[in-house]
Every structure is written in C-alpha cells, then in structure tokens.
C-alpha cells in the first residue's frame, strides 16, 4: 500500500486546553500526510476546549474527528484508554498532546520510518523543538546518541509521547497489557513494552514537534539544569523507584509475548533492585548493561543504584 494511503489514528487526550488546542488542531490539519483521523478523549474540560474542537470539526473535518468522554483518572489513563480502544482502527497510531505544534511533515516522517516493520511491533519517536508560550522556538531537547534498547528502556524514557507513533503490532501489545495498569507515563510504557517484546524502536534526531512550555505542563522539558536537578530530587525521594515498580508490574501482563532473553534481563534487573549490598547493585548495573543516554543520566542511575532508590 502506498504510504499516503496508510491511515494514522491520532490519539489526543484533552483537558482544559482552550488556550493552545486550536493551534495544535491547525497543525494537524496542515499535515502533509492527509490520511488521518483524530480521536479525542476529553477528561471533563470545564473551559472552551470542546467548543474549539467542535469548531475545528466543522471546518471540513467533521468525518475525521471523533470525541469521547475520558476516564477522568489523569493523563496517563486518558491516553491508554485511547490506545486500547478496540473501536479505533488504523495502520498507525500517533499520541498527541493538546498544547504542542506539529510541523508539516511530522506524520509523513513517522509513516515512512515505520513502513518496513508491519510484521513486528515498532515505535517511532524523536527530538522536539522547545517552544515558549507563544510557540517561538527557544532550543531543542537533548540529542540521544545511544541506541534505543531494553537496557535503556528499563531505566529511562527517551520517547516523548508528543512524538510517538506506533504500528498496529505495537498497539496490540498495549491492548494486551490493558488500560488499567499503573505506570508513570504512557510514552515510557510504550517504549518499554515494545522493547521488551522484541520490537523495533526508531529514534529520529530531526525534530518535528514544537514542545510548548507553559505553567500548566504536566511534564516539562528535561534538558535544562533546573529540570535535571528536579528529577534528581524526585529520584532521591523514591519517585524513580515507584515508577520502575509500576513498569515491572505492567510487564508481567506481557510475559507470553516477551522473548526468553528479554525475560531473563527483566528478571535479573528485578532481582538486582532488591539486593541489599550497595556494591553488588553497582556491579550488577554494569554487568546487565543498563544505561541512560547522557553522562548526567548515567551518574544519576549509578547514584540510584548505590542508594537503592531504583
């Protein structure tokens, strides 16, 4: 099937996004890949979000836009309710935040990258351009040079949800695990689940999303020193450890789909986290080949291992 004929279901979780959602919707309308549908799960917006969505649908997109009531349990549950919804069928599925701006070739680049992997689970994600409240570019997210892998996905999310596009086989994995799991973020979970099940993960160094920073961001950018120090603070308070607990619990639902070698890695990591000896945890970290994408990230991971905060 020609790439332009392959259908992309865009999965947008909304909640009180009236200030920026119109610009995001406009950027979806301007995509060079035209074969898309937009599925919006609204978590009970009390502002003009739904009015703006209806206005957008009525400007030539009525057949492409589908709005439903969200689960009302936060952004992760909202996104997973979309990803696991059996009524949404497509060749590819693209997560979408309500307050970003997509560049014209965002979907086209993802579909092209994923087109050779229809028989196996595959996920595409990449860098973003950091934008201010007005949508003006002010920088870029870190360029991750180390390859995506299970050894990375167990301890770090590098696939921002606003860039993530998955194929049907990867979506089947998310459905197998279900929407009632307790994970920290839908994007980290997607990256980890696809890696664990032996799928392909594609990191694009070219940014196709303007990631808008504002006071209402649920999760902000992670490239500044302030952001890194904040994440280190969360690590020391045990938040990182609780996130990994949730990820590992969710992986148990996918055991039948995880290759034996990957199951062994996951089991070894689980056991390593509970070793009492500080040195044993540090040595085990090295032997398992676990890594994060930057020097600062690796240092934080080592600290977490030494302190038992992972």
State how far the Cα of 219 lies from the Cα of 212, in Å rounded to an integer. 11
Cα–Cα distance measured from residue 91 to residue 9, given in angstroms and rounded to the nearest whole number: 8
Question: How does strand 36-42 pair with strand 65-69?
Answer: parallel
- Mean pLDDT, residues 6-30 taken together: 98
pLDDT at 231: 62
164 neighbors 124 (Cβ within 8 angstroms)? yes
Nearest by Cα to 188 from 227, 160, 165, 149: 160
Distance CA 303, CA 209 (A): 32
In this prediction, residue 217 carries a pLDDT of 47
Tens digits of residue pLDDT in 116-135: 998 899 999 999 999 999 99
- What is the average pLDDT score of the chain? 94
Considering the domain 3-212 in this protein, what is its CATH number? 3.90.550.10
Contact partners, residue 179, CB within 8 Å, separation at least 6: 71, 77, 80, 81, 83, 84
Backbone angles phi, psi at 132, to 5 degrees: -85, -175
Q: What is the mean pLDDT of residues 94-109?
A: 98
Q: How far apart are CA 128 and CA 204, in angstroms?
A: 10
Query: What distances in angstroms separate CA 204 from CA 42, 52, 175, 179, 262, one per listed residue?
Result: 29, 31, 25, 27, 24
Name the one residue in this structure whose structure tokens are 């999760």: 219
- The model's pLDDT over 181-237, given as tens digits with 9 standing for 90+, comes to 999 999 999 999 999 999 999 999 999 999 999 765 445 445 555 666 666 667 667
Predicted confidence band of residue 141 (pLDDT cuts 50, 70, 90): very high
**What local confidence, expressed as pLDDT, does residue 236 receive?**
67
DSSP 125: E
Element (DSSP H or E) covering residue 168: helix 168-177
The predicted model scores a pTM of: 0.93
Mean pLDDT, residues 61-78: 97
Predicted local confidence at residue 238, as pLDDT: 79
CA-to-CA separations, 41 to 20, 147, 165, 269, 299, in angstroms, rounded? 16, 33, 17, 35, 38
How far is Cα 79 from Cα 76, in angstroms, rounded to an integer? 5
pLDDT band at 92 (very low <50, low <70, confident <90, very high): very high
Which residues make Cβ contacts (< 8 Å) with residue 146, sequence separation at least 6?
152, 291, 293
Q: Which of 274, 301, 259, 78 is nearest to 183 (CA)?
A: 78
- pLDDT of 308 over the 70 cut: yes
- Tokens 């990449």 locate to 126
Could you state, in order of their start, the residue ranges of all structural domains in the chain? Answer: 3-212, 225-307
Give the residues across from 201 on adjacent strands: 123
Q: Is the pLDDT of residue 239 over 60?
A: yes
pLDDT of residue 211: 97
β strands within the chain, DSSP E: 8-14, 36-42, 65-69, 92-96, 101-102, 122-126, 129-131, 137-140, 165-167, 200-204, 209-212
Determine the Cα–Cα distance for residues 92 and 123; give it in Å rounded to an integer: 10
What does the block give as tokens for 169? 């086989």
């Amino acid at each position: 099937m020609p790439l332009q004929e392959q259908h992309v279901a865009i999965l947008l979780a909304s909640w009180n996004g009236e200030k920026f959602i119109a610009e995001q919707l406009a950027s979806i309308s301007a995509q060079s890949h035209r074969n898309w549908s937009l599925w919006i799960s609204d978590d009970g917006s009390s502002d003009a979000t739904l009015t703006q969505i209806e206005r957008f649908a009525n400007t030539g997109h009525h057949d492409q836009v589908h709005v439903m009531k969200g689960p009302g349990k936060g952004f992760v549950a909202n996104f997973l309710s979309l990803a696991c919804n059996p009524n949404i069928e497509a060749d590819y599925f693209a997560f979408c935040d309500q307050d970003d701006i997509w560049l014209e070739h965002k979907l086209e680049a993802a579909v092209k990258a994923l087109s050779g992997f229809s028989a196996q689970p595959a996920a595409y994600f990449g860098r973003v351009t950091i934008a201010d409240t007005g949508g003006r570019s002010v920088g870029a997210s870190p360029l991750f040079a180390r390859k995506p892998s299970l050894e990375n996905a167990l301890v770090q999310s590098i696939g921002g949800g606003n860039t993530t596009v998955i194929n049907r086989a990867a979506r089947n994995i998310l459905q197998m695990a279900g929407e009632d799991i307790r994970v920290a973020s839908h994007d980290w979970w997607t990256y980890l689940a696809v890696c664990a099940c032996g799928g392909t993960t594609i990191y694009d160094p070219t940014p196709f999303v303007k990631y808008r920073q504002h006071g209402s961001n649920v999760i902000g950018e992670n490239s500044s020193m302030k952001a890194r120090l904040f994440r280190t603070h969360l690590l020391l308070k045990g938040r990182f450890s609780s996130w990994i607990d949730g990820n590992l619990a969710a992986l148990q639902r996918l055991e039948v789909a995880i290759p034996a070698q990957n199951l062994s890695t996951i089991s070894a990591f689980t056991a390593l986290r509970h070793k009492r000896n500080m040195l044993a945890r540090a040595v085990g970290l090295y032997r398992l080949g676990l890594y994060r994408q930057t020097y600062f990230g690796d240092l934080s991971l080592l600290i977490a291992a030494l302190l038992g905060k992972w």
